[in-house]
Amino acid sequence: MTVRPILIAPHPVLKRPAEAVGTVDAEVRQLMDDMLDSMHAANGIGLAAPQVGVLKQVIVVDVAGPDEPANPLCLADPEIVWGSPETVLGEEGCLSLPDQFADVVRSERIRVRFLDRDGGRREMDAGGLLARCIQHEMDHLQGILFVDHLSSLKRNMILRRLAKTRKQLAAAE
């Protein structure tokens, strides 16, 4: 159980593709557990390994609401085998872009194939917030942030706002 620091954009590691793990060994399982701790500590609903500086294809999600029991999911080498042609626009944020939000278009439903925490090969259907969250986290494995889905005008506005806030916070310390 270790909370690892989360990289903030812009950061070169966040732009790089992650490598497949192939099998879930003790090191990958430790990474998954640390990522869940890091995500929960930051009050996030999803986290991808590159966000903690590890370029491996591992994501964790937990979209349970505050009054629902925790439902942590660990996915290694995830692959979307089907995405619904129906898309939906919804607001997204990201622990690597703190306090920044924008609407992004995603498939409404997906089927994802992955290795679970025990290394078992699984396939899962997801809809709603879970489908959105998995698509967002899987983007990170290709070096894509949610702002990369926006117009350059909107993206630059968000990145400038984030940089300004970070500068103000640094100056206040």
User: Closest CB to Ni ion among 89 and 121?
Assistant: 89
* Closest separation in Å from C-beta 121 to Ni ion: 25
User: Is 123 an annotated catalytic residue?
Assistant: no
User: Closest CB to Ni ion among 58 and 94?
Assistant: 94
Q: Is 158 in the site for Ni ion (CB under 5 A)?
A: no
Restricted to residues 76-95, the positions that interact with Ni ion (CB under 5 A) are 94
Which residue in 68, 123, 137, 173 is the catalytic one? 137
* Closest separation in Å from C-beta 94 to Ni ion: 3
Q: Is 49 in the site for Ni ion (CB under 5 A)?
A: no
Q: Where are the alpha helices (DSSP H) in 8-140?
A: 26-41, 128-140
* Closest separation in Å from C-beta 76 to Ni ion: 17
Burial 58-93, CB ≥16 within 10 A → b, else e: bbbbbbeeeeeeeeebbbbbbebeebeeeeeeeebe
- Give the Å distances, CA to CA, from 80 to 5, 19, 110, 131, 169: 28, 16, 7, 10, 38
- Name the nearest CA neighbour of 147 among 129, 128, 161: 161
Supply the Cα-derived Rg of the chain in whole angstroms. Answer: 16
Number of residues that bind Ni ion (CB under 5 A): 1
Restricted to residues 94-123, the positions that interact with Ni ion (CB under 5 A) are 94
User: Closest CB to Ni ion among 26 and 64?
Assistant: 64
- Give the Å distances, CA to CA, from 161 to 6, 31, 157: 19, 31, 6
Helix (H) or strand (E) run with residue 153 in it? helix 152-172
Q: Is 60 in the site for Ni ion (CB under 5 A)?
A: no
- Residue at shortest CB range from Ni ion: 94
* Closest separation in Å from C-beta 149 to Ni ion: 12
Q: What is the largest CA-CA distance in the chain?
A: 48
Residues in the site for Ni ion, rule: CB under 5 A?
A: 94
Q: Active-site positions?
A: 137
